[in-house]
Amino acid sequence: MNAAAVPPGAPPDSHGVAAAAERRWAFVVGIIIVLLVAMMIFTGLQWAAMPPSRVETIDPRNLHVTGEFVESNLGTSVAPDGRVIARLVAQQYSFEPQCIVVPAETPVTFRGTSTDAVHGFIVGTTNANVMLVPGFVATFTTTFRKTGEHLMPCHEYCGTGHEAMWARVQVIALDEFLTRTRRGERVSCVSR
């Protein structure tokens, strides 16, 4: 660089200073990239070497006829051990039930499966998000902090009716939920 290109007031070796700063930042970015790649390799190998913690299989051909996912057993119920369990089935192009009632401030275990194609759902803006694959039972436990209603759309493209495939999740107060389950009713949504 010739002296005429140095802006007025800049240190005489501004080019050298900039080059050193660039080298430092290139080094920092390089370390970050190496760390991320190492994490990907480590988790990829570790997960590939271990079986998933639990894989529950189910025959999708007779879901409606027998077992846990018959229609009368779908929806939310309280298990004998006190756990709240919401069961649902996805099929082209709807969820059964269409509206799921859950209590607020209580862990709720979702158990779902599919009769035909790969489906999935998310619940509103919560972090509940799962895929429903025929032949497997998907399960997760989550707690809804506030009462209210969430949309629950299918988020795996499953065919021409996919965009119309959604259900609702109604989160109600725990006492109201317990009162309704104590009456022995199958808990279903109330229109609001």
Q: Which is nearer to Cu ion, 85 or 128 (CB)?
A: 128
Least distance from Cu ion to the Cβ atom of residue 74, Å: 18
Non-local (6+) Cβ contacts of 173 within 8 A are 103, 104, 147
89 binds Cu ion (CB under 5 A): no
Question: Segment near Cu ion (CB under 5 A), from 26-34, 49-57, 77-85, 156-164?
Answer: 156-164
Single residue of 123, 165, 169, 172 touching Cu ion by CB under 5 A = 165
SS3 call for 137? coil
> Of 126, 136, 162, 181, which one interacts with Cu ion (CB under 5 A)?
162
CB nearer to Cu ion: pick between 77 and 166:
166
User: Does 100 interact with Cu ion (rule: CB under 5 A)?
Assistant: no
154 binds Cu ion (CB under 5 A): yes
Residue 106 DSSP label: S
Q: Any residues with CB less than 8 A from the CB of 112 and at least 6 apart, and which?
A: 87, 88, 89, 90, 121, 130, 132, 137, 138, 139
**Binding of residue 88 to Cu ion (CB under 5 A):** no
Residue type, 37: V
Q: Does 167 bind Cu ion (CB under 5 A)?
A: no
For 76, phi then psi, to 5°, come to: -105, 135
Question: Tokens representing 18?
Answer: 């900039």
The radius of gyration of the chain from alpha carbons, rounded to an integer in Å, stands at 27
Asked if residue 158 binds Cu ion (CB under 5 A), the reply is yes
Binding site for Cu ion (CB under 5 A): 119, 154, 158, 162, 165
